[in-house]
Amino acid sequence: MSKPGGVMRADIQALRALAVLYVVINHLWPEWLPGGYVGVDIFFVISGFLITGHLLREFESSGRVALGRFWARRARRLLPAALLVLAVSAVLATLFVPPVARQNEFVQVGWAALYVLNWALAGQSLDYFAQDDGQTMVVHYWSLSVEEQFYLVWPLILLLVFALAKATRTSNGRRLLFPALSVLAVLSLAWAQIATNESPEAAYFQTTSRVWEFAAGGILAVAPALSAKRTASLQPLLWIGWGGLVASAFILDGNSGVPGLPALLPVASAVLVIGIGEASGSPLKRLTGARAAQSVGGLSYSAYLWHFPLIVVTPYLVGANLLAWHKLVILLLTFVLALGTKRLVEDPIRFGRVSRVRPGLVLVGTVTAMALVAGTTFGATAALRAHANQIRSDLVEDAQDGGECFGAQAVFSGADCPSSHLLADPAYLEEAPVDTFGEGGDGTRPFSCESEGIAGIEAEICFGGVKEGQQDLNVALVGDSHVSMWRSALANVADDYRLRIQSRTLGGCPPSLDPDLIAIGGVDQDGCLEWRRSVIEDVASDPDIDVVVTSSRANMYRYADGSPDHGTGYTEAWKSWLQSGKDVIVINDVPILSEAIVPCVTAEGVRVKDPCTRPRDEARGDTTLSKAAESMTHPRFHFTDYVNVFCDDELCHSIIGSIPAYRDSSHLSEAFVLSFGDEFLRKELRAISKER
């Protein structure tokens, strides 16, 4: 609890200092302090202790809790600095972040302003520890969202218990509050463990998985105070508490299962430190009471707000990944900004004239400010999305006839294209992440799709190409997402060869008859096996199908023991189609980039020539498909490989013909697929058309 006069206990201020340093160092140097994220858990325990104690003392002294005044006080304390950093982050995103990443920045700023970001991230199952995967300048606001939800609901829970105490004529509300909070803590911890086992990425952000940490501090506030003699006798245990906090930062990591049972180590350690109280007459007292510790603790809130925007925006400013000196500058600037924010924003609003404004007006102003920030960023997001749709439409249109140096034509045309590997327009990256898979982003090449449920798998069967009855060839497109991405290209040449196309694809499920291959991407194993068996058999037995086009990200599939696919399941499928009189075209898998194209290109610089290349032997050596094809000698079997479109003798490229070739690390962008034009399967389809 606070000392008289509003001075914070030195040990709690030192805990805050440790917590914020843990988080900042973990974000800057995760390899040094893999468990530094437990600083958030420490903050939650502190909040539970302080807020519960404050509300309990108010109730015991006056018999009531002034909710409006409590919420207004919390709003004055937390929201001005938080909304300031959100606004600055939005401005930084506007000035320095490419449009494709800016959308996510604005969306998260909006959710953070409404203090529901944690639930938005839980819904996305974002991996908080994958710092290159979808991280924005404000992703750390998830913990502030949890804390604000705690401040909103916690007083209501306590009031309910107090009301129950009155109704049952229990003289001391603490007697009911202690078991109530204990039950709440146990239930929340159980939920956290179950949720972490089932979906650790989502569980990390859920308020329900964090309630037990606040409750642990609350139980401590409700427990009887220790006598001075008892406190003195327990002083040696403080070393254990602080030691547990230090150990947590090094023992735990992103795979430890926090906020489940492993979080008991930092939470219990924080409870021990707070519960015993301030050290006296020992080296520990000198450490926790040191001026540096107290100063950092006083700046902990603002430092937490500022550090992550600086970490995320700096690579955009310097055009490179963070170096050691960049990180040191970020660390220094974090505390400089924190000091300025505390003196110019936090303290004047907490203790100046605003502190005397009526609670109702404070709350109205708070809601208005939150709505303004959220509304502005959500509106900007909608504008960016509309712009992205226009870019996508323009790219698709250009892909039809973009010239001899556009996309894949830079290779097929044989023209001199010196800017082929230089991104023509940063806005082109907006097309890359869109998962159209040939749906026709502009609506000009739509496939008519309907659901087909096989063994519980909800897949789609789609039809496209020329109208039924006008076809010369019926083509079945069969495989996983690595054949789906060619659907636009096949539809693009449908008129040339009078193709009627049937698409039977399921991402993460290999078009193989090998029953032991393991599906990927969370696809149900039994359902995948039944689906591929059924589809392969259906295509083989359909007398109307003339040609089967297939591909797969075959090198990704493994057996249960981790060994790679030997490919015999593919040859079995191919032979079953050939034996039924069909031609089979196998498209070898494309080279794989080392990381998704958007974060890679934006990190290296959108104006950098030939960004994000990968050595050819790493990006695409021998594939399972190519090895399996070596055993095939049937005259109606065709194997095609476009590796030379993506790679020269040494390197494979991410930007080809001045546009993004990929939409992630392994799937092609729709514009690039369409840029193949009539070169797509030209040799194979011409030969088949002549024979038939």
pLDDT tens for each residue of 433-483: 444 333 433 333 468 888 777 767 777 789 999 999 999 999 999 999 999
DSSP state of 37: T
In a domain, 176, yes or no: yes
* 237 and 130 belong to one structural domain: yes
CB 503 within 8 A of CB 461: yes
pLDDT band at 282, cuts 50/70/90? confident
Q: In this predicted model, which residue has the larger pLDDT, 317 or 187?
A: 187
Percent of the chain with pLDDT over 90: 64
The token pair that represents 610 in the structure block: 């030939």
Residue for token pair 């209501």: 156
CB 540 within 8 A of CB 511: no
Mean pLDDT confidence for 313-317: 88
pLDDT band at 171, cuts 50/70/90? low
Q: In this predicted model, which residue has the larger pLDDT, 429 or 536?
A: 536
When mean pLDDT is compared across 101-105, 188-192, 365-369, 400-404, the lowest value belongs to: 400-404
Domain count, the chain: 2
Cα–Cα distance between 348 and 363 in angstroms, integer? 18
In a domain, 268, yes or no: yes
DSSP secondary structure of 570-632: HHHHHHHHHHTT-EEEEEPPPP--SS-HHHHHHHH-TTSSSTT-EEHHHHSSS-HHHHHHTT-
* 499 and 588 belong to one structural domain: yes
**How far, CA to CA in Å, does 542 sit from each of 476, 546, 640?**
10, 9, 24
What's the pLDDT at 235?
83
Domain end (from 351, 384, 411) = 351
For residue 335, is pLDDT > 90? yes
In a domain, 391, yes or no: no
* 421 and 339 belong to one structural domain: no
Cα–Cα distance between 210 and 40 in angstroms, integer? 10
When mean pLDDT is compared across 313-327, 344-358, 379-393, 443-457, the lowest value belongs to: 443-457
What's the pLDDT at 294?
94
What's the pLDDT at 430?
67
* 204 and 136 belong to one structural domain: yes
What's the pLDDT at 134?
56
For residue 431, is pLDDT > 60? no
Q: pTM of this prediction?
A: 0.74
Residue for token pair 């789906």: 484
pLDDT band at 426, cuts 50/70/90? confident
What's the pLDDT at 455?
67
Domain end (from 332, 351, 370) = 351
Overall residue count recorded for the chain in this entry: 692
pLDDT band at 128, cuts 50/70/90? low
Which amino acid does the sequence have at 126?
L
The token pair that represents 551 in the structure block: 């591909």
Q: What is the pLDDT of residues 177-220, one digit of tens each?
A: 899 999 999 999 999 999 999 889 899 999 999 999 999 999 99
Catalogue the long-range contacts made by 53-57 (C-beta closer than 8 Å, 24 or more residues apart): 53/1, 53/221, 54/1, 55/154, 55/155, 55/158, 56/158, 56/173, 56/174, 56/177, 56/221, 56/222, 57/1
The token pair that represents 228 in the structure block: 């001075």
For residue 3, is pLDDT > 50? no
CB 59 within 8 A of CB 149: no
pLDDT band at 553, cuts 50/70/90? very high
The token pair that represents 145 in the structure block: 């969202």
When mean pLDDT is compared across 18-32, 98-112, 189-203, 412-426, the lowest value belongs to: 98-112
What's the pLDDT at 690?
83
What's the pLDDT at 44?
97
- Omega before residue 30 within 30° of 0, cis: no
CB 639 within 8 A of CB 405: no
CB 94 within 8 A of CB 351: no
Total Cβ atoms within 10 A of residue 261: 14
Domain end (from 293, 328, 351) = 351
Domain that holds residue 488: 401-691
Q: Provide the β-strand partners of residue 547.
A: 475, 583
- Could you give the angle at which helices 141-167 and 211-222 cross, rounded to 10 degrees? 50
In a domain, 363, yes or no: no
What's the pLDDT at 408?
94
For residue 281, is pLDDT > 70? no
Cα–Cα distance between 232 and 273 in angstroms, integer? 13
Mean pLDDT confidence for 619-632: 93
CB 507 within 8 A of CB 479: no
pLDDT band at 1, cuts 50/70/90? very low
For residue 170, is pLDDT > 90? no
In a domain, 474, yes or no: yes
Catalogue the long-range contacts made by 607-611 (C-beta closer than 8 Å, 24 or more residues apart): 607/422, 607/423, 607/426, 608/319, 609/419, 609/421, 609/422, 610/421, 610/422, 610/651, 610/653, 610/655, 611/423, 611/654, 611/655
* 334 and 471 belong to one structural domain: no
In a domain, 549, yes or no: yes
Q: What is the pLDDT of residues 354-367, one digit of tens each?
A: 777 787 888 888 88
Mean pLDDT confidence for 393-412: 83
What's the pLDDT at 437?
37
* 320 and 426 belong to one structural domain: no
* 66 and 192 belong to one structural domain: yes
Backbone phi and psi for residue 626, each to the nearest 5 degrees, phi listed first? -65, -40
For residue 32, is pLDDT > 70? yes
Cα–Cα distance between 499 and 55 in angstroms, integer? 73
The token pair that represents 169 in the structure block: 């004529």
In a domain, 439, yes or no: yes
What's the pLDDT at 104?
86
* 128 and 231 belong to one structural domain: yes
Mean pLDDT confidence for 59-73: 86
What's the pLDDT at 436?
39
What's the pLDDT at 630?
95
Average pLDDT, the chain: 88
Half-sphere exposure (Cβ direction) of 591: Cα atoms closer than 13 Å = 27
Mean pLDDT confidence for 584-599: 92
Report the SS3 class of residue 319: coil
* 497 and 579 belong to one structural domain: yes
What's the pLDDT at 124?
79
What's the pLDDT at 406?
92
* 413 and 344 belong to one structural domain: no
Q: Provide the β-strand partners of residue 217.
A: none
What's the count of helices (H) and strands (E) in the chain, helices before strands? 30, 11
In a domain, 388, yes or no: no
Mean pLDDT confidence for 71-83: 91
What's the pLDDT at 315?
86
CB 33 within 8 A of CB 26: yes
* 498 and 596 belong to one structural domain: yes
What's the CATH code of the domain at 599?
3.40.50.1110
What's the pLDDT at 129?
63
The token pair that represents 101 in the structure block: 């990443």
Mean pLDDT confidence for 653-660: 94
CB 625 within 8 A of CB 551: yes
The token pair that represents 589 in the structure block: 């898998």
* 100 and 223 belong to one structural domain: yes
What's the pLDDT at 434?
42
Q: Is residue 584 classed exposed, middle or buried when 0-12, 13-18 and 19+ CB atoms within 10 A define those classes?
A: buried
